[in-house]
Structure 1
Amino acid sequence: MEEKKITIFDVAEKAGVSKGTVDRVLHNRGEVSRKSAEKVRKAIEELNYEPNLYASLLATRKNRVIACVLPQYTPGEYWEKIHEGFKAGGELSASLNVGTAVFFYDQYDSESFREACRRMIDSKPSGVVLPPLFKNDAMEVAALLKDKEIPYVYVDTKLEDVNYFAYFGMPMYKSGYLCASLLTDRCSASQVDEVLIVRIRRDKSKQSDPTINRRAGFSDFMDANFPDAKLHTLFIDPSDPASIEATMSAFFAEHPHIAYVVMFSSRIHLIAKSLAANPCPGRRVIGFDDLEGNIDAVRQGHVSILITQHTADQSRLAVSTLTDYILMHKAPANRDCYMHMDILTRLNIENY
């Protein structure tokens, strides 16, 4: 016997509401109480009801837009890949009558972030893709989106709030733990006496610290396995290459035999020239993300390992996930959608 096709009338009956209420929930239009909306969504899930997507699109002309608040970037930077993924997701969503919009800001200026978010909120988006670089400000934005019942998806990193719709990115703590394990692989405690951690000098308000959980994972591994190792931290300014060379040269002059170097952001290539100019036999250097500059540094032997992901997939999948929810109230199978971590060396980087 053919399985009975579930209809909107079945959903209405199970939820104890009218067909019109179900229709308004499906199409995101008209006033529906939160209680009724929850009943409808529960009935849809229990009955495994699949609305006719194209009929739904034809039934309403409501403008739907997924917004992204994104740091400004120069060609070749990490955020260019995030933008490319967002645009790729937008090409598919556009065919389903869901548009996209990007609101750029200066990643070193918290006020610029707040202004971009104000413009984003004023645009009344249907969903938001949010890399939360400025923690306190991003939490305020998240609370506002929650009050307006606008679903938001974190990419790159996430905040520990309870209302985000989904997250696409590396498991940050685990990536730091993995980094420490790779850096010290097959080393005795006496071998790993000093480690250099190179960090990016960021905003003056010190809100922006996207690698904090990665550093925590790294530190926990080191504390457990190499408790006597001294961890040096050196800050560099990515806008001033000359100062990077001077800062790194001064450090290596004082610590010529330091054999373990790590950078938790995506810009290990910024110190490649300094590493080449200040060699140390057997030095291990680990960075993150498959930027072309980082890959070149691995090819040339200045960087030992890159821990990478398919960066653009974060934002591409964020857009498709929001599109599914906006059109069909379909939630992702997992709230935290962790990207797989790839380990690249000179031996396998050409095939990545």
Structure 2
Amino acid sequence: MSKIVRMKDIAAMANVSMGTVDRVIHNRGRVSADAQKKVMDVLEQINYKPNLIARTLSSSRNYRVAALLPDAELDPFWRSSIQGIQQAHSEHSQFGITISYHFFDPYSGDSFRQQAHDALESGPDGILLAPTLRQEALDFAGICREQQIPLVCFNTYIHELAPLAFIGQDLHQSGRLAAELMTMIAAPGTILVTHIGEQVQNSAHIGAKETGFREFVREKGSSHFEVNTVQLESPSRSGFKASLAQALETHPHTKGIYVTTSKAYEIARSLEELGKTDIRLIGYDLIDENLTHLRNGTINLLINQNSDRQGFLGISYLTDHLVFQKPIPTLQYLPLSIVTRENLNSYITSQEVN
């Protein structure tokens, strides 16, 4: 068994006082060069490793983290991400972590740029970013590199950002999974890949999902299903239901709709009003609005992206990097969870327990 080396032992070995050892270890107060060399030689000899947690708790150093993500008032999907960030903050605040929140309009590049500017102005030691707008995120990541600010990303993986770490799901695989599920529950016919309020060209997450979806259908179900893409305006604008009705009129043999975001409830609501509830519907995430339609059967399946866990890990990884100088995973994919009306209650219970 290894012997525990106490401060008094180090002092005796270096032939200095305990006060001198304390000042050298904690880098405080004045110590002569000769005394410091004696102590450092002993520390090297015994392979001394400081208790990082104890040292951090005794330190007055604060670490500022800026969280830059879409506004949950405009898209309720982000509520759980914020909850995960807040939970991580409550656990890590004892280590001097403080968080400033910078919420942008997920449909506005100007809003992203303004909030990104404000995040940088806050003087952060690290940044947690949800890079839903591709070009704006690339520009912002470039500034972070120039200013040597550690950047951790979640939700949307963009290789060119080269972040310190990414937490989220394999979006391409997510699209393939959605296609596999759709081909199992929908009758042969047309499937609509539906994007709501976002442009594929600048929204990496929905583009990757559609690519995966089409790839699976092409490989496995091309003789039974035709895939078409429908771009719908934001539901906040008038005419949303009419535009969906027009899409269904254009594609009269539609048997399934795959919604690439958390807004499946918007489609479900319109399908109910249009009397089209026989169309199979798959979307994302366990937000309250989706759960209502999952329970009544208008939404058939939800793929949970564990957004709360993404936010929690993002702050945890930045804490490990900034405070403890610990290595962190560069790529952390979370499981793809399939939730139906039948397993919903047990799934929610298991999440609460964990």
Pick the TM interval, shorter chain.
0.7 to 0.9
User: Corresponding residue for 2:243?
Assistant: 247
Of 193, 207, 224, which aligns to 1:197? 193
Aligned residue for 1:211, secondary structure, equals: helix
Three-state SS of the structure 2 residue aligned to 1:260 is: strand
d(CA) in 2 for partners of 1:345, 1:256: 27
Instruction: Determine the structure 1 residue equivalent to 2:335.
Output: 340
Output the amino acid matched with 2:118. Answer: R
Q: What SS does the aligned partner of 1:145 have?
A: helix
- Superposed CA RMSD in Å reads 2.9
Contact 2:106 2:132 in 1 (8 A): yes
| Number of residue equivalences | 313
Show structure 1 runs of 4+ deviating over 3 A. Answer: 47-51, 253-257, 277-283
Give the counterpart letter for 2:269 in structure 1.
K
Matched residue, 1:165: 164
Could you list the per-position Cα deviations for residues 295-346 of structure 1 after superposition, in whole angstroms to 9, with x for gaps in the alignment? Answer: 11111111110011332111111101111111111122x3211121111111
What is the rounded CA distance, in whole Å, between the counterparts of 2:160 and 2:69 in structure 1?
A: 20
Give the aligned partner of residue 58 of structure 1.
Answer: 58
Whether 1:127 aligns to 2:126 is: yes
Query: Which runs of structure 2 are paired with 1:86-165 in the superposition (5 Å)?
Result: 86-161=85-160, 163-165=162-164
Q: CA offsets, 1:207-243, max 9 Å, x none?
A: 2343111111111101112335332222222343641
Query: Residues 1-352 of structure 1 correspond to what in structure 2 (within 5 A)?
Result: 1-2=1-2, 49=49, 51-59=51-59, 61-74=60-73, 77-161=76-160, 163-185=162-184, 192-202=188-198, 206-228=201-223, 229-240=225-236, 242-279=238-275, 283-332=279-328, 334-351=329-346, 352=348
| Structure 2: segments with no counterpart, 5+ residues | 11-22, 28-46, 349-354
Instruction: Give per-residue Cα distances to partners, 1:122-152, cap 9 Å, x unaligned.
Output: 2221111100012122112212222322221
**2:190–2:253 Cα contact (<8 Å) kept:** no
C-alpha contact (below 8 Å) 1:257/1:280 kept by paired residues: no
Q: For residue 53 of structure 1, what is the amino acid of its counterpart?
A: I
> How far 1:170 sits from its partner (Å)?
1.4
Distance, in Å, in 2 between the alignment partners of 1:316 and 1:338 is 14
Q: When the two structures are superposed, what TM-score results if normalisation uses the length of structure 1?
A: 0.80
Q: Describe the superposition over 1:260-304 as per-residue Cα deviations: whole angstroms up to 9, x where unpaired.
A: 111010110011122223455853211111111111111111111
Aligned AA (1:54): A
Match of 1:39? Answer: none
Conservation of the 8 A alpha-carbon contact between 2:69 and 2:130: yes
SS in 2 for 1:94: helix
Contact 1:194–1:231 (Cα < 8 Å) also in 2: yes
Q: How far apart are the structure 1 equivalents of 2:87 and 2:237?
A: 33
CA distance in 2, matches of 1:304, 1:336: 31
CA contact (8 A) 1:258 1:280 kept: no
Q: Distance in 2 between matches of 1:286 and 1:82?
A: 21
Q: Is the 8 A contact 1:261 1:284 kept in 2?
A: yes
| TM-score, normalisation: structure 2 | 0.79
Percent of aligned positions that are identical: 23
Q: What is the rounded CA distance, in whole Å, between the counterparts of 2:74 and 2:114 in structure 1?
A: 24
Structure 1 unpaired stretches of 5+: 10-19, 25-46
Task: Name which one, 1 or 2, has greater alpha-carbon Rg.
Answer: 2
